[in-house]
A and B are shown apart, each in its own frame.
Chain A
């Protein structure tokens, strides 16, 4: 395009650029005057300027049209008409409407877009343009016929603006209006409008419902202050006076003062119903102004706040209860005499109580987030403890030594379990540690005392054994054996004393282990390493009470000693010590594979005494000797004893 031409339009002058052929026919002065505006519009990206020939075929397609419609000028020039980029349905509708309006048949196509303009009628209308990519947008299109000097139509100019933003704004406005109407007509909002002095002018259905007055009761009669809590109005006036540093009257002024100063104002207020009952309302106040911005009244929109208040009160109560509960739980944790702690599954401390602080000399804040193991003398053992809890879910009496920063050590015994959330997801380990320093000290003291007593008893027994040794040294050979037997019995009592403490499991003594110990010590003391006589043990696991363990042991000692002395004249053989459970009783069986009873010389006096001892111990234990069939060789002695956990009724003194 090398030149420009202006033409007079059907109504207002709409400046345009048209083709060179038309240009020469237009007056130059007009061109000069309007040139700036024209070029501004034509070059503007905000206006689509589309010029066509008389038949509608696009001749000019400016940058604005390109931007809005997504076509390049080359895509459309000399190819299509503006009808081809317009909504076909709208074209049909427009053609129909115009046909009716103008009483002539109009084709749904380009003609429908320009018919009015072609008849010299001003035409601006809304039209939906379709972009190259198929999307649509609303446009306001102004159509002008382009004419030559003879006033013959040589083309049309369609100037369009994208109407999207305006459409959206209109929609929003429409919505807002609907909202206003909805609020004003809603029974859930009280809308009270007053005049500038506060006298109620409008009292909507919501206000009637909430307050119990009819509009007629209040309109032109009272102000909203008259239906508000007077104490609150006074308080509000006082507060506002202080806040805004100006005296405010306790009355309607107090309710609207802020709004009258253009300050947004929403506050809580207690309204009083016609029947005198009260309810909390949330009130929003707006000043109503005329065109000159002079206040002509106020609008007070209120919502009944009762439900919210109730919810708030309930929430407050719940919060308080939760706080009480938390306080209670915490106080339980804190008042525990044990040091309590939780860790996450990796052993990082998540909570501790005061006792734990005392144990470690660190504050709760310092400990939370730190590894549990850091507070013990043996971190590896501490970590292993946590792992064990995670594996076994529970650990009891796990000893660790806690160490404070300044080096103070405390031996503690841990009980720990895993803990879970409601979804049963592992949260970590809960552990309680009890200071066992004192217990440990008591145990140590008890042990030293036991050691001391044991040492003295054994030394005294040793003295007795020594005395016998000394006597035996000067005694004639036949008596020596008697002394030795005596020594053996003393030794047996001493050993039983130790064996009982070795094999006791709390309140009982394990018989099988006890028999094995007796066999071992007897082999050592009576037989020696080189002996070919062997003592074997076969025992069911039976428990006996420690009170009876000594006579039981002496009984075994006596029978075994007899076997050793008499069953094996050739110096080799086997002795078996055995306990069998027989219902509510147990059998102690001492057997040997020696020469048998018949071949023993029962006239010998020490043997007789040994038998006496056996009878005494059996009676003491509340049992009886069960006669056993004796074979040609070997001896079996079976003694039936009541379940030995039953306390002994025997009163016989120990005969040894």
Chain B
């Protein structure tokens, strides 16, 4: 089972995601913005994967920037992005290579598939 950092500025969405992911047997950590997430990523805490929203508070590409910094800090980290917005070419260029993407709104089945994919592949 894995340790997954969930970054989502909407508390309800974040907590439902945490609940579902924990139900599948994983351990979760959570942050509501880039800075909180980076603080956790810089800590000695073991983390296997990052599940982040792209649009974080006012930062349109906040999740993309976060993932890039996270990978710089922890090169073996796995990443799953989510957003309700259409992925533009500009956004695609910002995604860390070999990572996964989940469109909002996602059902628990979709989230489960995506988390499974993220943790098994790479």
Contacts and interface: CB of A to CB of B under 8 A. Distances in A.
A binds B: yes
Interface of A: 448, 451, 454-459, 461-467, 469-470, 472-473, 484, 487-488, 490-491, 494-495, 498, 501-502, 521, 524-526, 528-529
22 contacts: A451-B60, A454-B86, A456-B84, A458-B83, A458-B85, A458-B105, A459-B10, A459-B104, A464-B105, A465-B106, A466-B12, A466-B13, A466-B17, A469-B20, A470-B16, A484-B109, A488-B107, A490-B105, A491-B107, A498-B103, A528-B109, A528-B113
B10 A462 contact: yes
Most chain B beta carbons < 10 A, residue from A462, A484, A524: A462
A547 B103 CA distance: 23
A-B interface, 4 closest residue pairs, ranked by CB to CB distance from nearest: A458-B84, A466-B16, A462-B105, A461-B105
Interface of B: 10, 12-13, 16-17, 19-20, 23, 55, 60, 83-86, 103-110, 113, 117
Most chain B beta carbons < 10 A, residue from A454, A456, A464: A454
A191 to B, nearest CB: 92
A494 B13 contact: no
B86 A501 contact: yes
A461 B17 CA distance: 14
B104 A451 contact: no
Contacts of B83: 455, 458
A524 B110 CA distance: 7
Contacts of B108: 469, 472, 487
Nearest to B10: A459
B19 A491 contact: no
B84 A491 contact: no
Contact of A457 (B16, B84, B117): B84
A472 B13 CA distance: 15
Contacts of A469: 16, 19-20, 107-108
A463 B20 contact: no
Contacts of A465: 105-107
Contacts, number: 83
Given A451-B60, A455-B85, A457-B84, A491 B105 contact: yes
Contacts of A466: 12-13, 16-17
A529 B84 CA distance: 22
Contacts of A472: 108
B63 to A, nearest CB: 12
Given A495-B103, A525-B107, A528-B109, A459 B84 contact: yes
Given A463-B13, A494-B84, A525 B104 contact: no
A491 B85 contact: no
A465 B110 CA distance: 12
A463 B16 CA distance: 9
B55 A455 contact: yes
Nearest to A470: B16
Nearest to A458: B84
Given A458-B104, A465-B105, A451 B16 contact: no
A474 B55 CA distance: 31
Contact of A473 (B12, B23, B84): B23
Nearest to B11: A463
B32 to A, nearest CB: 13
Nearest to A466: B16
A293 B23 CA distance: 136
A170 B55 CA distance: 108
Given A488-B107, A524-B110, 8 more contacts: A457-B84, A465-B105, A470-B19, A487-B107, A491-B106, A494-B84, A494-B104, A525-B109
A307 B33 CA distance: 93
Nearest to A488: B107
A457 B105 CA distance: 9
Contacts of B20: 469
Given A501-B86, A525-B107, A448 B60 contact: yes
Nearest to B110: A525
Nearest to B60: A451
A525 B20 CA distance: 16
A456 B107 CA distance: 17
A498 B105 contact: no
Contacts of B17: 466
Nearest to B55: A455
B109 A462 contact: no
A168 to B, nearest CB: 90
A458 B103 CA distance: 9
B18 to A, nearest CB: 11
Most chain B beta carbons < 10 A, residue from A464, A525, A526: A525
Contacts of B10: 459, 462-463
A459 B13 CA distance: 8
Nearest to B17: A466
A451 B86 CA distance: 8
